[in-house]
Amino acid sequence: MSAQQGGRPWSKYLPTSYRGRIALAIGAALVIAVIATQLLLGLFVGTRVQQEVTQQLRQQGQEIAVVARDQGYAGIAAAKRFLPGTRVVVRRDGETIYWSDPVKVLEARAVVNDGDIEVTLEREANAGVWGEWAVPLVVGGVILIIGGVAWWLAGLTSRRLRRDASALAGQAERVAGGDLEARVEVEDDELSRVATSLNAMTEQLADTDRRQREFLADVAHELRTPITAIDGFASALVDGAARTDDDRREAAETIKVESERLCALVSDLQALTVADLDQAVAREPVDLVECCRDVAHRLERAAGENGVLLRGPADGQDPIVAETNGAHVETILQNLATNAIRATPAGGTVRIAAAAEGDDVAIEVSDTGVGIPPEHLPRIFDRMYRVDSARDRASGGTGLGLAIVKGLVDALGARVEVQSTPGEGSTFRVLLPIVSKAAK
């Protein structure tokens, strides 16, 4: 990542390779550790050396005091030759009788009193050649060794990182090239989350591609049936094969029915496309009770033709207003109610209702029809999926109604629930927020 991309001006001074960055991080950490250890060691050694030199100076001071008492100035001067680098000051009764000037500031100092004799000795506190040269050289060597080890370890780590990153990039390239079966091995390391996510994304793409192919195949099949019928009966009218009035009437009626079926399929495909576009939904206050009444009134005739009793909300029910899209709500209700009418035998009942539930409104379509077997429930919102294909096609269904419902429900920020018992009927409940999330 560049400095401009990361927003860190200092990052341009870092190595560009992973190996360089890892080595720099490891080496810096180890160098800091060595320097800190050296500082602590130097402080400890310096203190210890100063203590030892001071103790040595006390002993030598006692000896100088004896020499000063017995031999005077000459004895002190003679003893001083055995104390190189040491400043010696001797006083008797407070009067200085001997002193020597230091070459530089001395750290260790000892004062010895022997009667009327006071001896002061000062000397530099150091660890000798080892402390001045050997330790820094050893530390420098250790730092060089640490740098080499860090570079070697960084190479091992970066090689594995490059290998894993290359595997991930390879899978991404294969997926981009259309190979949706590509998978990368997931290991227990820092890149495992990336590998897992990439595999999950690839599986989702493969599933989406499979469903898309199935959907296109189903659409082609659904289009072929009415088109074949229209073409056949139109040809019969054109070439004169339909000679009698009854034949011509049957051909015309079939063409009309199949054209209506074709128009219904195209209309559902358009509605599904609108739901897939994920466009911003225009919202306004909508009386959901009135929506339910309108849909029930609109489908009353179709329900009566099937011998099904269709009931909407009671006339005296109070309005329930929500911030939503009225057209989407009506499409949802119409598709659910149309499916319910088709699934309900003659003599059954379909109900459309709306009720407030806390911060939500539940619009509900229930029927006393054939119900849905449990194994079909997870897939009923899939495109072109039919629980009873023969019955649904015979009744004019396209297999897209519930897919449209799911798309519009998602667009409204709502959720849909299904309860069904085979032989007893089904209930679809759509829970809409009274106040949209966008309005909040």
Question: What are the respective helix, strand and coil percentages of the chain, to the nearest 5?
Answer: 60, 15, 25
Nearest to 220 by CA among 51, 75, 106, 384: 384
Residue 19's pLDDT is what?
58
Nearest to 215 by CA among 348, 15, 399: 399
Task: Find which of 90-104, 177-191, 375-389, 414-428 is predicted with most confidence, using mean pLDDT.
Answer: 414-428
pLDDT confidence bin for 291, thresholds 50/70/90: very high
pLDDT confidence bin for 345, thresholds 50/70/90: very high
* Whole-angstrom distance, CA of residue 37 vs CA of residue 360: 66
Residue 430's pLDDT is what?
94
Q: Is the pLDDT of residue 189 over 80?
A: no
Residue 436's pLDDT is what?
47
* Whole-angstrom distance, CA of residue 176 vs CA of residue 383: 26
Q: Is the pLDDT of residue 283 over 80?
A: yes
Instruction: Give 378 or 34, the one with higher predicted confidence.
Output: 378
Nearest to 383 by CA among 361, 370, 373, 398: 398
* Whole-angstrom distance, CA of residue 228 vs CA of residue 233: 9
Q: Is the pLDDT of residue 190 over 70?
A: no
* Whole-angstrom distance, CA of residue 215 vs CA of residue 208: 10
Task: Find which of 94-98, 148-152, 344-348 is predicted with most confidence, using mean pLDDT.
Answer: 344-348
* Whole-angstrom distance, CA of residue 417 vs CA of residue 336: 12
> What is the phi/psi pair of residue 118, to 5°?
-125, 120
Question: What is the pairing mode between strands 117-123 and 321-324?
Answer: unpaired
Contact 422, 409 (CB under 8 A): no
163, amino acid identity: R
Contacts for 271 with CB less than 8 Å, ≥ 6 apart: 331, 400, 404, 408
435, amino acid identity: V
Q: Is the pLDDT of residue 41 over 70?
A: no
Q: What average pLDDT does this structure show over 96-123?
A: 78
Nearest to 278 by CA among 432, 413, 437: 413
Contact 271, 404 (CB under 8 A): yes
Tokens found for residue 94: 């407070």
Instruction: Please name each of the domains of the chain with its CATH number.
Output: 1-179 (no CATH), 180-277 (1.10.287.130), 281-433 (3.30.565.10)
Residue with tokens 């000062």: 122
* Whole-angstrom distance, CA of residue 98 vs CA of residue 76: 7
Question: Over pLDDT 90: what percentage of the chain?
Answer: 17
* Whole-angstrom distance, CA of residue 271 vs CA of residue 405: 10
Q: Is the pLDDT of residue 248 over 70?
A: yes
Tokens found for residue 12: 């341009």
> What is the phi/psi pair of residue 243, to 5°?
-90, -35
* Whole-angstrom distance, CA of residue 32 vs CA of residue 5: 30
Residue 301 burial (10 A CB sphere; 0-12, 13-18, 19+) = exposed
Q: Is the pLDDT of residue 65 over 80?
A: yes
Q: What average pLDDT does this structure show over 224-253?
A: 80
User: In the chain, how long is the greatest CA-to-CA distance?
Assistant: 160
Q: What average pLDDT does this structure show over 275-296?
A: 83
Share the mean pLDDT of the chain.
77
C-alpha Rg value of the chain to the nearest Å? 48
